[in-house]
Chains A and B, each alone.
Chain A
Amino acid sequence: MSRDGVLGAALAALAVGYYRAAATIPASGLADAVGPGGLPMAYAGVLGFLSVLLMLRGWRTVGGEAPTVAPRTLARVGGLLAIGIAYIVIVPRVGYPVALAGLLIGTTYYQGGRLNGQVVVVGVAGAAVLWTVFVAVLGIDHPTGVWLERLIGQP
């Protein structure tokens, strides 16, 4: 199946799921003629219709471009995403500066940099700069980290 065909099928599935979720939205006593689920159901209908058109276009395209992603690209993107998710998971535990240094070092390494002293120094220095900007200057309350809180005896 061509790239458009795959996208059309995925969007059609999304339209069905969205419609079913919209149909379960409870009507309010304050509801107007359209109601809270009215337009979402209409959007789902329009998306479903457009998806079918896209699928038809995909199937009609003989020898269309197959949906392939180079494994290297997929690995790079997946790895970058995994680093971001890992950051979200560990930042409440280890705190903002440590997690950020980890993100900087991990991303640099994963994007083709070598894991050496320079990468570590740049990562730690970058985290210190961003901590200074966000926490010390802008006053944003980034997580201190439960481990550090326990260490310094904060609740």
Chain B
Amino acid sequence: METLSVVAPAAFAGVAWGILGGALPGISPSITMALLLPFTYTLDSAVAIVLLASTYVGAEYGGSIPAILIRTPGTNAAAATVVDGYAMKLQGRAGEALGISLYSGFIGGLIGLLVLVLLAERLSGVALAFTPSAYFSLGVLGLSVIAALSRESLLKALIAGVLGLMIASIGTDPVTGTSRFTFDSPELLSGIPPILVMVGVYALAELFEQSGERGWEQATERPRIQFPSPALWRRIAVPQIIGSVIGTFEGLVPGGGGTVSSFLAYNEARRWSRHKDEFGHGSPEGVAAPEAANNTVACTALIPMLSLGIPSSNSAAVLLGGFLMHGLVPGPMLFVQHRDVVESLFVGLLAANVAMVIVGYLIMGPCIWLVGRPKPYLMAFIYALVVSGVYAIESSLFQVGVALGFGVVGFGMRYFRVPVLPLILGVVLGFMVESNYRRALVLADGDLMTFVREPLSLGLLVVALLFVLGSVFRQARERWRLAEAAR
């Protein structure tokens, strides 16, 4: 395990980068992480993972800064903070709102980390029982998450997932070594690295999308962060607990994520509050609950990713990309083969939550300055950062071109309202699904029943089936409700 002296600077740097990125409207935590991903290539694996995870932590707080100051959430998860945060700002209490956001994020982050440490290893405890059949079924379980992510259209989510699997099949065949879809290009022999897909569909597609939009509003004041008084501490304790509990469950559920948990936490905090009438008019509880929730999710969303290798959110998918880039495969064997990296991550997340309070306090000025820069300059700098970073991965201009191509694909997916995360799931799980499917069949002399004969494999397939059926049922129920409302 890397010592705290090595991990802490990475945590501080990641949090600072995350806050700055999160503070820019439209730049989500996953995009902030994707921008950083190529930089981590030359770093020690544990330091790189801590840097990326800390960026996620920082971005969740950073998103609340423009939410409170200019009524524009920096991240989707900060949308619930706008309601009471901006109302507090109008009352001249912006510093107090930012202090509550920072402190609640810290509490939520610590609770999330505690849950992460307690649950992740237990889930991965069955590592040694995994055979090729079970790994295949685990991959299928991961792909079944696509159904849960299909909030708008299951059909489009499935299409995105299949496209991801097709991208993953480019390169050398995992069993026979035959070249597939390489078109005699040596650069494609090792396949398309997931990082190029992620940088393209998250960072470059966002850049393309933002290029057609107007600049965001400028902050007109520079408030000083005020941490809550003891009386306020007591008042916001319950909403913080509510936010943390909801954040824990939403982090574990595929497709839950910070946005859903923030709104649920806001709603529940209002329901349990003694000051319901203050909600919507500058309630400190209305800031505390969503901020605790989204920072809890920043830790608990890592549980399925670390223990099963299944990313349940965009940010977890980018972090998974970081693991893969360093030759680390999240999933059952991670705790056995790279325990040191996992422990460094836990220590790093603890440092990141402490860093969030310190850096969050100090970085307010630069954040407001950054949000105030003309948008063309910021976009140009982000573009330059992406092309430089992608080249740094393997010193390949071909890869810069591939990333640009995926930027266009990502832009097209947004235009046609096709979700991006299923594509990423297909890309990162494609190799695992195909190689283990074929290995399992070789071991079982081509007998397909091997996947249901092994109890662990069968159990995972049943859970996958339940996921899909549950999602189909949920969508049918929503459609029925809409039809009822239309009548």
Contact = CB atoms under 8 A, between A and B. Distances in A.
A134 B392 contact: yes
Interface residues of B, number: 54
Q: Give the secondary structure class of A's interface.
A: helix
Given A104-B384, A138-B392, A28 B178 contact: yes
A25 B400 CA distance: 27
B380 A108 contact: yes
Contacts of B211: 73, 76-77, 80, 111
Nearest to A11: B159
Interface residues of A, number: 71
A33 interface: yes
A49 to B, nearest CB: 10
B384 A103 contact: yes
Given A37-B180, A122-B377, A80 B207 contact: yes
Interface string B422-440: 0000000000001001100
A142 B178 CA distance: 32
Nearest to A3: B416
B372 to A, nearest CB: 15
B416 A130 contact: no
A72 B211 CA distance: 10
B181 A21 contact: yes
Given A50-B155, A53-B155, A81 B407 contact: yes
B366 interface: no
Contacts of B416: 3-4, 7, 67
A39 B169 contact: yes
B190 to A, nearest CB: 16
A112 interface: yes
Nearest to A74: B212
Nearest to A38: B438
A138 B383 contact: no
Given A39-B437, A130-B384, A130-B385, A77 B208 contact: yes
Nearest to A123: B380
A145 interface: no
A30 B377 CA distance: 55
A151 interface: no
A106 to B, nearest CB: 8
B41 to A, nearest CB: 9
B156 A104 contact: no
A104 B382 CA distance: 9
A122 B147 CA distance: 46
Interface centre among B176, B375, B397, B418, by most A CB within 10 Å?
B176
B468 to A, nearest CB: 14
Interface string B142-177: 000000000000011011001101100100010111
Interface centre among B166, B380, B384, by most A CB within 10 Å?
B380
Interface in A112-148: 112-113, 122-123, 126-127, 130, 134, 138-143
Interface of B: 39, 42, 155-156, 158-159, 162-163, 165-166, 169, 173, 175-178, 180-181, 207-208, 211-212, 374-377, 379-381, 383-385, 387-388, 391-392, 395, 397, 400-401, 404, 407-408, 411, 415-418, 434, 437-438, 441-442, 446
Given A25-B180, A47-B163, 6 more contacts: A32-B441, A36-B175, A39-B169, A81-B404, A100-B384, A140-B42
